[in-house]
Structure 1
Amino acid sequence: MLFAVTMDVHLPPDMDPDVKADILAREKAYSQQLQKSGVWPHIWRCAGRYSNLSVLDVKDNQQLHDVLSQLPLFPYMTIDVTPLATHPSDIALLEEGS
């Protein structure tokens, strides 16, 4: 199942710099592990914001919840999830059918 996920990060301005550095390092390692495994095939920075738009490929809603809730930045995020479906005008589908 594919999901478009927008993650907006809101770190406290007074967060201890060492705590922030640790959380960011763990977040990067975890997200890159998910990218390498294929669970997180796409990630884009939303220009001008501390935010990303990602596509996650998971087996079900529970796996999506598990993946997102294990993000080290999860307590500092506002997350918007949109389930994705194949569009009938997608030319990749037309090419597969030929």
Structure 2
Amino acid sequence: MLYHVAMDVRLPRDLPADERADILARERAYSQDLQRGGKWRHIWRVAGQYANVSIFDVADNAELHDILSGLPLFPFMEITVTPLLRHPSAIREDDS
């Protein structure tokens, strides 16, 4: 199942630099692992914001929830999830 996921990050300004660096390094490793495995299909940065728009390809809501709640930045995120369905007018067979 495909999901459109918008993530806005709100790190506290007073977060110590070493803690911030650690969280960001763990976030990068976790997300790149999911990308390599095909679960996190696409990720785009939102210009001018500390935010991204992503497409996830997972079995169901529960798997997506587990993935998102495992993000090291999860406690500092506002996340909006939209389930996606193939449009009947779509011409590409590989986008489902």
TM-score (norm 2): 0.95
Q: Secondary structure at the match of 1:48?
A: coil
Q: In the TM superposition, what is the alpha-carbon distance from 1:89 to its structure 2 partner?
A: 1.2
Instruction: Give the Å deviation of 1:91.
Output: 1.3
2:52 aligned with 1:52, yes or no?
yes
Question: Gapped runs of 5+ residues in structure 2?
Answer: none
Q: Secondary structure at the match of 1:15?
A: coil
The higher radius of gyration belongs to 1
Deviations 1:33-61 (CA, angstroms, capped at 9, x unpaired): 00000000100001110000000000011
Unmatched 5+ residue regions in structure 1?
none
- Residue 27 of structure 1 aligns with which residue? 27
Query: Match for residue 4 of structure 2?
Result: 4
SS at match of 1:33: helix
- Distance (Å, rounded) in 1 between the aligned partners of 2:88 and 2:62: 27
How many residue pairs get aligned? The number is 94
How far does the alpha carbon of each residue in 1:52-83 deviate from its partner, in whole angstroms, 9 at most, with x for none?
Answer: 00000000110000000000000000000000
Paired AA for residue 29 in structure 2: A
TM-score w.r.t. length of structure 1:
0.94
RMSD: 1.0
- Aligned-pair identity in percent equals 62
Query: Shift of the alpha carbon at 1:13?
Result: 0.5
